[in-house]
């Protein structure tokens, strides 16, 4: 399952994501990971969540991002939920086609490996491709 939380800057996406992380910690019976571009959520999310700063790993292309997700899962099969904050800021190509392809890949990976993805992205939800809207 892939869920995208999209809105313009200042619309409360990160706050919503933090609340969903806290809820997942209470309800889910697996490991939870949060990937963010910079070090903004360090004190906002529970210490039991594995917080990863993408800027430390130079994840910028879609292929590197896929490899990173695969590596996370290969290193810990107990991961049940991966949260991603500021998705578009991590990627160097944010074209609708490329982002939709990546979301489709995450959906297939999630179904195969039983991992949920919740992603926040800054963009106008009314102006994105229908292939992306299906994940709202």
Listing DSSP states for 90-112 in one string gives H-S---HHHHHHHHHHHHHHHHH
Full-prediction pTM beyond 0.75?
yes
Instruction: Work out the average pLDDT over 74-95.
Output: 96
Q: Which helix (H) or strand (E) holds 8?
A: none
Per DSSP, which regions of the chain are E strands?
2-7, 31-36, 50-53, 79-84, 116-122
Could you report the per-residue pLDDT of 20-53, keeping only the tens digit for each? Answer: 999 999 999 999 999 999 889 999 999 999 999 9
What is the per-residue pLDDT for 94? Answer: 95
Matching CATH number, 2-127, of 2.40.390.10, 3.40.50.300, 3.90.1150.10, 3.30.360.10: 3.40.50.300
% residues pLDDT > 70 (the chain): 100
What is the sign of the dihedral through the CA atoms of 4, 20, 13 and 69? negative
Report the distance separating Cα 37 and Cα 135, nearest Å: 21
Instruction: Work out the average pLDDT over 76-99.
Output: 96
What is the residue extent of each domain of the chain? 2-127
CB-CB contact of 17 with 85 (8 Å): yes
């Amino acid at each position: 399952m892939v869920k995208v939380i999209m809105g313009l800057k200042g619309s409360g996406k990160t706050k919503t994501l933090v609340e969903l992380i806290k809820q997942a910690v209470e309800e889910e019976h697996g490991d939870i990971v949060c990937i963010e571009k910079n070090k903004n959520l360090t004190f906002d999310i529970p210490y039991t969540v594995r917080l990863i700063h993408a800027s430390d790993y130079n994840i910028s292309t879609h292929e590197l991002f896929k490899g990173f997700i695969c590596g996370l899962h290969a290193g810990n099969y107990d991961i049940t939920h991966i949260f991603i904050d500021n998705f578009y800021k991590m990627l160097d190509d944010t074209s609708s086609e490329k982002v939709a392809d990546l979301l489709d890949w995450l959906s297939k990976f999630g179904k195969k490996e039983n991992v949920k993805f919740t992603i926040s992205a800054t963009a106008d939800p009314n102006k994105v491709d229908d292939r992306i809207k299906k994940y709202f």
